[in-house]
Amino acid sequence: MIGKGATLSFSSLIKNYVKLQSRVVQQVKGLASSICHATPGKFLLVQFSMSQVTQIGESISNMINQVNKVINNAVSNQQGR
């Protein structure tokens, strides 16, 4: 939860998302480079990480879409006056 007076910017959100994506890519590369030492548990952890990144990306996309709708409605209301 964001505390009182705290702000959240799209740029910081996207930057952190890119960092998260990079970490998951490194996990996949690490798993692929030592495939002979991979265990089912490691595969499951990487799969879970990939799923989380996908869900976060979809949430960010949905949030941006909602902001665009609010902006478009505000502009449309101003033009109607």
Domain residue ranges of the chain, discontinuous segments joined by +: 10-79
- Rounded Cα distance between 37 and 41, Å, is 11
Locus of tokens 């996309």: 61
* DSSP state at residue 80: T
| CA–CA gap between residue 62 and residue 66 (Å, rounded) | 6
pLDDT in tens, 35-69: 888 899 999 999 999 999 999 999 999 999 999 99
Instruction: For residue 8, give Cα distances in angstroms to 1, 4, 31.
Output: 11, 12, 34
**Quick check: 80 pLDDT over 80?**
no
Per-residue pLDDT tens for 12-27? 989 999 999 999 999 9
Question: Does residue 2 surpass a pLDDT of 60?
Answer: no
